[in-house]
Structure 1
Amino acid sequence: MSVDTAAIETVNQEFYAAIESGDLDKMTEVWAEDSAADQVSCVHPGWTLLQGRSEVLRSWALIMANTTYIQFVLTDVNTTVLGDVAVLTCVENILTAGEEGEASFAAGKVVASNVYIRTSQGWRLWMHHGSPVLQGDDDEEEEGELER
């Protein structure tokens, strides 16, 4: 593993740790600053495109304020470094709790693409795009058929 790959995967873990702990200060550190030419962007599963650092961070503040418990187990992590840009793809296996006071949990999967850029402060998140993976009884059968 290259030094860049290790650094990117560390920042990626910090990103998910910030979500899990509801730490908006840490989330703010992870995201890049907007440049004069381009803005950071984010697509949460089921949401429209958010552009601009303030809008993206506001969305995370809302999510964190309305999430009683969330845990991410990342699988299928793949990191590609192209100069000062890196793309990390992964599957977010997510466990969440029900509303406050409820003892229910829900699990789901999201395929995520996280684009990082090298800055003077180190690698920073430039774009996050999460797409839900639809799950049901038929999924296991279809996966089995594809493997044959």
Structure 2
Amino acid sequence: MKRTAKALWQGDLKSGHGHLTTQSGVLNETPYSFNTRFADGIGSNPEELLAAAHAGCFTMAIVYALSQQGHVPGEMHTTAAVTLDMIQGGISHIDLELNATAIQGLSSEEFEKQAFSAKENCVISKALAGITIGLTVNYQI
């Protein structure tokens, strides 16, 4: 499996702009610029896209693990917050927060164990080896 995305940029860093397009077309010439990355401009940015990818991958990883054990997962809601440290010049950490509804026959301790395993084993987490990834689990029984 191979997925692609394209970025086009025109101009200098501060006054220039660009757009992002994904193979699926979900992003189709989505704008990005200095302001969308470092201020409050309208458009996306690499850190936001990384957060979306990580939230999606992690959520699918825990659903897969639970399904393999015969559990029917309820609603899973994950928020990923990517922190860009401008002084260090990179992503300092990512915080995942998982909110989930009760799953019949699954204790909160077992659910939390599965969540932490999914965090370690999702493809995006593995790709981000070396970055601190935190996880908060809220399991509603």
Provide the TM-score with structure 1 as the length reference. 0.35
Provide the TM-score with structure 2 as the length reference. 0.37
Bigger proportion of residues as strand: 1
Q: Which has the higher contact order (CA 8 A, sep 6+)?
A: 1
